[in-house]
Structure 1
Amino acid sequence: MRTVAALALAAAALGACTPTERPTAGPIATASAWQTVATPGDRERLRSWRPVFVQALAEAKAAGHGAAIAREGVLLQPDSAIGGGLPNGDYRCRMIKLGTRSPGMLPFIAYPAFNCRVSQAGRLQSFAKLTGSQRQVGSIFVHDQLRHVFLGTLVLGDEQKALPYGADGDRDLAGWVERIGERRWRIILPSPRYESLTDVVELVPA
């Protein structure tokens, strides 16, 4: 069951032909439970998101970034989800990387805003980062009234297509989608394979 659903997720992701085009809807529209799609590793990442988030914040604060973290308010507070879905549309998205996976890396990096899009793909929604050298694409699954689940993959550089979800664990992405304010959302990506301990993507309508 998970294999079929994962292939469906890949079909949606493969629609991301260029950095400025959104992933097209695919057979993933028939998969409604993220648990049937997520790899065992991603299920564990989602389960452990909170202690990893807290550890990442502690590292960043210890390195002198406490004031920057405080300025972000609810965006970087682990328990700030207030419930509510993510409407379809174009967004300005901003990523913050927290903590480090190896010595010598910065424990706090806030990137400039980029363009992203949320659209409907059958019973699910798709998310796509449209610009930049690292572009996240994937699907959003309903989880409960407080948060949803994002499962996707990473497109790098000038690549024209996304790898199938589940084919390369280094490219797979899993995160929690939460509303944190009026017309403000975030995606928490715990334990990414590269650079940081937690990535937080802020979404505000474009």
Structure 2
Amino acid sequence: MKRAVVALMTAATLAGCGGRREPETVAGARAPVADWRRVATLSDRDRLRTWRTVWLDALGRARASGATRAIDAQGALFNPDHGLPDPMPPAGDYRCRVFKLGAKAKGWRDYVAYPAYTCRVSGEGPVRMFEKTAGSQRPAGRFFPLRAARAVFLGTLAIGDEARWLPYGRDSARDMAGFVDRIGDDRWRIALPQPAFDSTLDIIELVPAR
């Protein structure tokens, strides 16, 4: 699995329109591109551009479904305007909880909260790696710097018992794009507008594993 994650991270430097280009180099060594705009696909740029409209719609539908108490109990987690300085989670193991808001199809629930799973952040530089290590849907990818109170996530998704992730940019149904915010002391989130499956907004909460 580690080899698969390394392959994913290298592939994160692929060009956005389905083509490939060589990773950026620093002093002759391969290094990750720090500018997310040089990595993201066109469709993922569109997802990020419309994030706020998608977020408010999904949140409104979740509240209308009767989940207001559960949403309010999470404090700042679902507030699109809440973000603190230093959005990059430090390297380490985390407990991740996935919340899905705004169902993609009739008859599906507009608010679903899943039990916590293990996830991991690695790296100390401006670009860091993220991997969700358990569960039926497992994102992996990179955190890219954006501004003082927000970072960008670009990655891809493994499903079920798949042992490998497809390279980012290979399959738009697996590509993921979102924003990373620090929302409290030792609490972060990854907000993913318009994921391919189930919902119109996924939010992954990260808190350090104890």
Residue in structure 1 matched with residue 72 of structure 2 by the alignment: 70
Deviations 1:144-198 (A, max 9, x none): 1110001000011111111111111000000101000011100000111111010
Of 180, 184, 193, which residue of structure 1 is paired with 2:187? 184
Deviations 1:68-126 (A, max 9, x none): 11111100111111121311110001010000111111000000000000001865210
Question: RMSD across aligned C-alpha pairs, in angstroms?
Answer: 1.8
**Unaligned ranges ≥5, structure 1:** 1-8, 15-25
Report deviation, 1:29: 3.1
Of 51, 57, 60, which residue of structure 2 is paired with 1:58? 60
Residue in structure 2 matched with residue 23 of structure 1 by the alignment: none
User: Structure 1 residues 13, 96: closer, same or farther in 2, change over 3 A?
Assistant: farther
Identity, % of aligned positions: 48
**1:143 and 2:140 matched:** no
Distance 1:38 1:32 in 2: 12
Runs of 4+ deviating beyond 6 Å: none
User: Structure 1 residues 165, 182: closer, same or farther in 2, change over 3 A?
Assistant: same
Distance 1:114 1:30 in 2: 27
Distance 2:37 2:7 in 1: 16
Of 9, 14, 23, which residue of structure 2 is paired with 1:12? 9
Distance 2:32 2:116 in 1: 32
Q: What secondary structure is seen at the aligned counterpart in 1 of 2:140?
A: strand
Residue in structure 2 matched with residue 193 of structure 1 by the alignment: 196
Residue in structure 2 matched with residue 99 of structure 1 by the alignment: 102
What's the TM-score, normalizing by structure 1?
0.86
User: Structure 1 residues 11, 64: closer, same or farther in 2, change over 3 A?
Assistant: closer
Residue in structure 1 matched with residue 156 of structure 2 by the alignment: 153
Distance 2:133 2:59 in 1: 28
User: Structure 1 residues 136, 126: closer, same or farther in 2, change over 3 A?
Assistant: same
- Residue pair 2:83, 2:181 contacting (<8 A) in 1 also: yes
**1:79 and 2:76 matched:** no
Q: How many residues align?
A: 187
- Residue pair 1:116, 1:127 contacting (<8 A) in 2 also: yes
Distance 1:82 1:11 in 2: 29
Residue in structure 2 matched with residue 6 of structure 1 by the alignment: none
- Residue pair 1:140, 1:150 contacting (<8 A) in 2 also: yes
- Residue pair 1:29, 1:124 contacting (<8 A) in 2 also: no
Report deviation, 1:202: 0.5
- Residue pair 1:29, 1:121 contacting (<8 A) in 2 also: no
Q: What secondary structure is seen at the aligned counterpart in 2 of 1:51?
A: helix
What's the TM-score, normalizing by structure 2?
0.84
Of 41, 48, 51, which residue of structure 1 is paired with 2:50? 48
Matched AA of 1:65? A
Matched AA of 1:105? W
**1:113 and 2:116 matched:** yes
Q: What secondary structure is seen at the aligned counterpart in 2 of 1:194?
A: coil
Distance 2:44 2:129 in 1: 18
